Amino acid sequence: MTLNQTIMCLAAAALLAGCNSSTSTSESSAPSVIPEANAAGPIAFAPGLASALPSSEVRGWTPEGDPITGEVTYAPDVPAPIDRDYPAKVIIELETTEEVMEIADGTDYTFWTFGGAVPGKFMRVRQGDTVEFHLKNHPDSKMPHNIDLHAVTGPGGGATSTFTAPGHETVFTFQALNAGLFVYHCATAPVGMHIANGMYGLILVEPPGGLPAVDKEFYVMQGDFYTTGEYGAEGLQPFSMDKAIDEDATYVLFNGRVGALTGDNALKAEVGDKVRMFVGNGGPNLISSFHVIGEIFDKVYPEAGTRFQENVQTTLIPAGGAAMVEFEVEVPGTYIIVDHSIFRTFHKGSLGMLQVGGDEAPAIYSGQQSDTEYEAEPLK
Ligand SMILES: [Cu+2]
């Protein structure tokens, strides 16, 4: 047992009878504490974000072993869970770019990105890790960029330390004191414009014991976009500062493009899978009423905090915030992912799909059983 595991066990001693050195937070080793984890009062040492340690206990940790290159992924993929039981120095590199890409079929937009895509690449570290962060700004960029990671404790969240001119690379280091799912974004003036152009993403800080194993993890991030032309207008569409100030979004999108999560791009799962979605909202303006039609979230970590809620239909995700939702899929078919501010879904693009394969489950959902005419009373 490492020193840090010993510290974790001591912290949990009042709540748990024992502490297994290899699976101290697995569901099988501590199922009896799961309900306590959601109760008011001290945070129980239980699976999930609820097993996060107080930041005060993590502060003294120092990195062990050789530095690690942090895995980063494009949406909707998520880096593999961390199976490390010690704090490490993690080196993460991200490059900002300014690129013309399609925002919809036939419609181009000049996106500003972290890593060449919207949303930016997903990062995954462990609570207590020391992160050496490298921000590069591509030489073809016209603007300086920086990064404010909401996972950072320190002024600006790293923004002033990473103000990076085109062709330059800046470096700063932070310790991930708090576990959770955090938004990162550019914070260079005009901040709203940099975010509106797509400069945001998510960083997951796993609790030391990790998250419970699931079958599928997905990265979904909403954002609102403001173009001079109307929704679907063809050609290269410039950013509209007037519409952005008025919060009059032209597009409200998951993963930066109309159709990023539909058709061949739909998320895929099988009946019986446990699904976890890391859902972020880059804004810059709109709040998301995140909902999956035909599913109920078995568990939601609202605002990606340590307490979870259960049996939730729709969860609010603030601009610059995130939520973690978990559910099991029991019935095959296509599940539509929406912002339930529903005109956005059918007129501004916030529509994704989760396609679930597998055997029908008629005891849970029959499908249509009949369609017949009936004798109605005349209306008055
Ligand atoms: Cu920027």
Summarised one tens digit per residue, pLDDT across range 20-60 is: 333 333 333 333 333 444 444 433 334 678 788 999 999 98
- CB atoms inside a 10 Å sphere around CB 322: 25
Q: How many Å is the maximal CA-CA distance in the chain?
A: 80
**What average pLDDT does this structure show over 53-77?**
95
The residues with which 170 forms a beta bridge, in sequence order, are: 135
Ligand 1 centroid, distance to 19 Cα (angstroms)? 45
4 has a pLDDT exceeding 90: no
Reply yes or no on whether the pLDDT at 12 is more than 90: no
At residue 148, the pLDDT reads 98
Per-residue pLDDT tens digits for 141-193: 999 999 999 999 999 999 999 999 999 999 999 999 999 999 999 999 999 99
Distance CA 178, CA 43 (A): 13
287 alpha carbon to ligand 1 midpoint, in Å? 21
User: How far does the centroid of ligand 1 lie from the alpha carbon of residue 239, in Å?
Assistant: 14
* φ, ψ at 211 (rounded to 5°): -105, 155
Rounded CA-CA distance 35/305 in Å is 16
Q: Which has the closest alpha carbon to 210: 2, 3, 5, 1?
A: 5
One-character DSSP codes across 48-62: SGGGPPPHHHHTT--
Beta-carbon neighbour count of residue 131 at 10 Å? 24
Which DSSP category does 264 fall into? G
CB 120 within 8 A of CB 79: no
- The first and second tokens of residue 19, run together, are 């502490």
Q: For residue 135, what is the enclosing H or E element?
A: strand 130-137
Positive or negative, the CA dihedral 347, 229, 287, 125 is positive
pLDDT of residue 30: 36
CA of 118 relative to ligand 1 center, distance in Å: 13
Average pLDDT rounded to a whole number, residues 244-255:
98
Tell me, in angstroms, the distance from the centre of ligand 1 to residue 199's CA: 6
**Residue 10 pLDDT class (50, 70, 90 cuts):** very low
Centroid of ligand 1 to alpha carbon of 170 (angstroms): 14
One-letter amino acid for residue 154 of the chain: G
Report the pLDDT value the prediction gives residue 47, as an integer from 0 to 100: 62
- 267-276 pLDDT, tens per residue? 999 999 999 9
